[in-house]
Amino acid sequence: ARTVPIGRPMDNTGLYLLDERLRPVPPGVPGEVYVTGTGLARGYAHQPDVTAGRFVADPYGPAGGRMYRTGDLARYRPDGVLEFDGRVDAQLKVRGFRIEPAEVEAVLTGHPDVTHATVTGDGERLIGYLVPADVDAAAVRAHAARTLPDHMVPSVFVTLDRLPLTGNGKVDRKALPAPDPSAARVEYVAPRDERETALCALFAEVLKAPRVGVHDNFFDLGGHSLLATRLLNRVRTRFGASLSVATLFDSPTVAALAARLGGAAPRSRPKLRRRTGSAGADADSR
């Protein structure tokens, strides 16, 4: 099941679903679960620091009231039942975006060839792990790009025979292998015409790579949505063609992107010319 129903508050118990600023969230929107009521504990025994972080003032109750911060995320269904939506401590922050990995994983496992998936991040990119090992990662990326916003589409995928698990059956994220940089490269194929030459240069410039072949995948080489925007801005300047990030997800290699450009030819790069400044010193201008 995509979601897990967890019921309603018990007698003498209250629940709040609150956002990061302790504001109630509307029905259907995820919020963190806070518990109030007569059965609320006083705190954790002999752990004042942990208690202070979990047992916080209740802004909606009587003076001096407290509520317990569970760390669970949930949302209200139309019938008032809560659905479990993951953990706050599972959130990833990538390039300033807060991402719920469970939302990305649900889309990835929605691809018919994916049995299991998990998502991690390193601050600059999302990394998707897919089972089985023979799944077509490019097809899964295109599938994700049709559903998710750009910043939630993993930049790189790793395929595995199985996901490593802890003793209690959860994914052991510490045991997930790091993406192999060399695995992202295919056999180098040099550009075959002026258009591919220009695109290879733009790919290498944006990715800070020594060289890029026509079949190297932009995202497998470390590209992400922010770098994709930079690349497409340069493509627009050089070719006069406006392409969307979705186009790059569908055509992430130089060869494929060159085909999407149709008959557009690269413009000459503007040359630097010399001029004399007001004080007599030479100055460069484009």
Do residue 161 and residue 225 come from a single domain? no
User: Side-chain half-sphere of 2: how many Cα atoms within 13 Å?
Assistant: 8
Is 280 contained in some domain?
no
Q: What pLDDT shows up at residue 209?
A: 87
Do residue 81 and residue 10 come from a single domain? yes
- Strand ranges (E), the chain: 4-7, 13-18, 31-37, 55-57, 66-76, 82-87, 92-94, 97-99, 116-121, 126-131, 156-159, 273-276, 282-285
Is 279 contained in some domain?
no
pTM to 2 decimal places: 0.53
Q: What pLDDT shows up at residue 184?
A: 54
Residue that is last in its domain, among 179, 204, 229 = 179
Mean pLDDT by 10 residues, the chain (286 residues): 78 92 91 92 90 92 91 89 82 77 91 94 84 91 86 87 87 86 68 92 92 86 84 92 86 90 73 52 44
Cα(17)–Cα(34) distance, rounded to whole angstroms? 6
Q: What pLDDT shows up at residue 281?
A: 47
Do residue 98 and residue 173 come from a single domain? yes
Q: What pLDDT shows up at residue 215?
A: 87
Q: What pLDDT shows up at residue 277?
A: 52
- Domain containing residue 43: CATH number: 2.30.38.10
Do residue 12 and residue 82 come from a single domain? yes
Do residue 213 and residue 238 come from a single domain? yes
Domain boundaries, position 161: 92-179
